[in-house]
Amino acid sequence: MIDLATALAQLPLVAILRGIRSDEIEAAADVLVEAGFRLVEVPLNSPDPLVTIEKLARRVGDRAIVGAGTVLTVGQVAEVQDAGGAMIVSPNTDVAVIAESARRGLVSLPGYFTPSEAFAALAAGASGLKLFPAEAASPAVVKAQRAVLPKDVPLLAVGGISPTNMEPWRQAGADGFGLGSALYKVGLSTAEIAANARAFARAWAEMEGRA
């Protein structure tokens, strides 16, 4: 498995596959990794998420960091690791979940919205920070928070992100993004997932090329 710094350096985009079924995950994982994705999460409010994570880890766990989203309890952290997951993503700042993830050596990307939540998450051992929901904030918020947050802490904007609106966030100091329905939603074919993944990867590369 690659580490977080390597994954972010290759392509700092997290694929959020909310609602995906276990019989779809291997084909989706293949096209995501082929497009350059190195961070893939299956939210726990998806059908049979632990089965899906287990299949995902077996399929691409040597090439990508895989894990769960919408992790809300300490017990779920253990379940995700037992299924082969190496990444714990939450919508909220729960210091117990963060600390347990860190104790187990897992990547911890908790959701936060305020500086107080961000610093509480870091004190508990978070690997990075997920600004959520980003559509309720703005790039100006990221710029202001970046002035006080540690420079080496990855900050990912999540919520409402598309290939066309990443650049203002990036210029404000976001290190990457979590991608939901603009990348995957229930009912998309593998070909459609692949096309969306390539569009995001291409948009990131073009944006970085202009930097």
Among the options 24, 41, 54, 167, which is catalytic? Answer: 41
Tokens of 32: 């995501």
Residue 176: strand pairing partners: 156
Q: Measured between alpha carbons, how far is 137 from 159 in angstroms, rounded to an integer? A: 10
Task: Measure the CA angle with vertex 32, ends 37 and 56; round to 5°.
Answer: 95
**Is cis: bond before 133, omega within 30 of 0?**
yes
**Secondary structure element (H or E) that encloses residue 155, with its range:** strand 155-158
Q: Measured between alpha carbons, how far is 142 from 140 in angstroms, rounded to an integer? A: 5
Cβ atoms 63, 90 nearer than 8 A: no
Cβ atoms 15, 41 nearer than 8 A: yes
Among the options 54, 55, 100, 130, which is catalytic? Answer: 130
Q: Measured between alpha carbons, how far is 40 from 45 in angstroms, rounded to an integer? A: 15
CA-based nearest residue to 182, from 12, 47, 17: 17
Annotated active-site residue 55? The verdict is no
Q: Measured between alpha carbons, how far is 20 from 187 in angstroms, rounded to an integer? A: 9
Annotated active-site residue 130? The verdict is yes
**H and E: helices and strands count for the chain:** 9, 9
Catalytic residues: 41, 130
